[in-house]
Chain A
């Protein structure tokens, strides 16, 4: 959604629309996290009136989908691919292999044991 997107490009890695979208989702989630947590707390708190909790439920469901943590997906910083991304390096398996063989990843060596 364009309202979450920053006016100027604010990431330095490989960019395509999917990467930018994911980045804006991360930022939106970060901004809305306290609100989400507060609503979640209200919903789960059984000492509060049922009405308040129901309202909180509605409010939480009506929040924008970009503010949900489940919308965030790890993507490759070198190619934007979403599958086979190694968490430790933020890279897909192929890019990881290329970089590792080129010696760009500190400490990573070919293993044999």
Chain B
């Protein structure tokens, strides 16, 4: 998941080791012939081309330029590109569309360094896409700036002080219409691949039927009653009162409230 690995697949192309495979005829874009990793196929034409290109590159000493020249001379029908999954890494993260727009999860990411934060936001968005979650963001929230001023030296040299600050950057990613389980999986995945120097905080909401509380009551009310009875015994007046007792008690209470002891 480290960032340099992202660049690795491109390196052979840049160095001209792998030729950009031209398509012979108009082959559909999804065909495997177009994939870059298919360059090891036993195509004699290709092999010859490869060796020639290598020779050219070794003689001219600038593989990229020769490659570009070749490309420019080739007709339009020859399409070449990376596999889609690889290409997606260099493009904006894909997004799902929310059908209803009910927010189900607010993920706040915090960091002191913008690079890590941006990278991890990107990662989170991609993960959300593949989990079929509609993610919105990253919304930049206000920075938190904390500053401290300390004397540089001992007490008497109060005149020369130094300022320090810590800026916390925050980003918000909101999931809409997410299934609670999918949201949990997403959060767990992000936690598993937690990036250094990034803090995460999530608010999760679950939606259910209107009479959900009623159902809950019905199922739990009996159990809680049993549990609470033993506790209630210690609360208030445990002994039963007769009407006379009650009247007397009320009278004393009234007297107390009036200020009498």
Contacts and interface: CB of A to CB of B under 8 A. Distances in A.
Chain B binds chain A: yes
Interface of A: 86, 88, 93-94, 96-97, 100, 105-113
Contacts of B152: 97
Contacts of B113: 107
A94 to B, nearest CB: 7
Contacts, number: 40
Contacts of B148: 86, 88, 96
**Majority DSSP secondary structure for residues of B touching A:** strand
B164 interface: yes
Interface of B: 112-113, 146-148, 150-152, 162-168, 197
B165 A93 contact: no
A51 B172 CA distance: 57
A104 to B, nearest CB: 12
A97 B150 contact: yes
A90 B43 CA distance: 69
A94 B197 CA distance: 25
A94 B164 contact: no
Contacts of A96: 148, 150, 164
Nearest to B168: A107
Contacts of A86: 148, 150
A106 B197 contact: yes
Contact of B151 (A93, A107, A111): A93
A109 B146 CA distance: 11
Q: Which of B113, B150, B167 has the most CB of A within 10 A?
A: B150
A49 to B, nearest CB: 9
Contacts of B147: 111
Contact of B163 (A88, A105, A106, A112): A112
B154 to A, nearest CB: 8
